[in-house]
Amino acid sequence: MSNLTAAEEKFLKHDWVNDKNWKLYLSNLYPSPSINNIEKYKKKYFQKNIDKDLDINTNFSSVKDQKQESPNSNFYSYNNNIYSYKGKLPVIIFFYSTFVLCASLFYFLLLSLNINLYKKLGTFMSLSYLFAYLGLLLLDYKTQKNNFSLVNFFSCEKGHYLSYSMILFFIKDAVLIFLPIFLTLLINIYLIYKQLKSSLVPFIQKNYYINKLVSYMDKMILNVYMMRANIEIYNLLFIIICLFFRRASLLNLIIYTHFFKLKYASSDSYFHACYSKNGVHLYEMYNMITKNKYTIK
């Protein structure tokens, strides 16, 4: 990195995750830039707002290969604080969360085939997700004792999805409703696995299929974030439609709107980018329904 200019070094070290002005800049881009083009917009933003000496034609790919930090965690992932997991608790939560994901795939299959068994498993799946996110919050508390407070409990991403899990107790027959919390659990399992891999048994470390899946997640993690954000935006419309077909109640809509507001107030750049394109119109529909006090009979 000795050949880099001061502006280039500052660019590489910039904290994109916590830069609120960058997130605002990103959310106002239409159409949203693709993952492959995101660095071009980062350079333009940096040159305009932070250091005009940055050459936007500089290629940082060779420099990034030398850094330990992955580009996936540099920008979009707002879970940027990596903690070292120790003891049995992370392993227990990892395997339990993996079980919940596998059970969810079976549950989604039952739903898609309309097999009545899903009705008996609905409450079990809802409770499973509730306990999974309580476990993830407990893990955060154990690893961040000095920095973890009651405010963190409710304001962090896992706290948001803990509140989201309440919806699953009311709407148990829609894969769309399960997908955001399913994808979030998948992301967290992926991140935990990256930390725990060296301490797991060789069979898991060297398993071809597991390594293939992790390798795929390495490439697609940003797409997973974007897909989750899109689903969260359109789920508001889905629940509004369900109101008219008696598949959801006004209480379900209120619970989801609470989650929606939490996400809007968060630093999820994906959510803000999707909301800037689609969410405003959906939220206007929600306000129209609540203000006119429609009654579903």
Summarize pLDDT for 88-134 with one digit per residue, the tens.
Answer: 888 999 999 999 999 999 999 998 888 888 888 888 999 999 999 99
Residue-level pLDDT at 187: 92
Q: Check if the beta carbon of residue 30 is closer than 8 Å to that of residue 62.
A: no
Amino acid, single-letter form, for residue 250: L
Q: What is this structure's pTM?
A: 0.68
* Structure tokens belonging to residue 98: 């993996």
Half-sphere exposure (Cβ direction) of 284: Cα atoms closer than 13 Å: 5
Average pLDDT over residues 249-274: 76
pLDDT band at residue 70 using 50, 70 and 90 as cut-offs = very low
The three-state secondary structure class of 54 is: coil
pLDDT at residue 252 greater than cutoff 70: yes
pLDDT band at residue 66 using 50, 70 and 90 as cut-offs = very low
- DSSP E strand boundaries for the chain: none
What is the distance between the alpha carbons of residues 149 and 160, in angstroms, rounded to a whole number?
A: 15
Average pLDDT over residues 242-260: 82
Q: Between 19 and 198, where is the model more confident?
A: 198
* Structure tokens belonging to residue 30: 């239409």
pLDDT band at residue 297 using 50, 70 and 90 as cut-offs = very low
DSSP line for 284-297: HHHHHHHHHT----
- Residues 180, 246, 244: CA angle, nearest 5 degrees: 90
* Structure tokens belonging to residue 271: 């959510």
Residue where the block lists tokens 């008996």: 120
Least confident of 48-52, 160-164, 283-287: 283-287
* Structure tokens belonging to residue 11: 């660019």
Amino acid, single-letter form, for residue 90: P
- Determine what percent of the chain is predicted with pLDDT higher than 70: 70
pLDDT at residue 77 greater than cutoff 50: no
pLDDT band at residue 182 using 50, 70 and 90 as cut-offs = very high
Residue-level pLDDT at 162: 85
Average pLDDT of the chain to the nearest whole number: 77
Q: Count H helices and E strands in the chain, helices first.
A: 15, 0
- Residues 170, 286, 111: CA angle, nearest 5 degrees: 35
Other beta carbons within 10 angstroms of residue 49's beta carbon come to: 12
Residue where the block lists tokens 């693709």: 34
Q: Between 168 and 18, where is the model more confident?
A: 168
What is the distance between the alpha carbons of residues 197 and 214, in angstroms, rounded to a whole number?
A: 11
Where do runs of H (alpha helix) occur along 50-116?
61-66, 71-74, 89-112
**Cα 24 off chain centre by:** 18
Average pLDDT over residues 231-244: 85
Residue-level pLDDT at 279: 54
The three-state secondary structure class of 84 is: coil
Q: Between 251 and 83, where is the model more confident?
A: 251
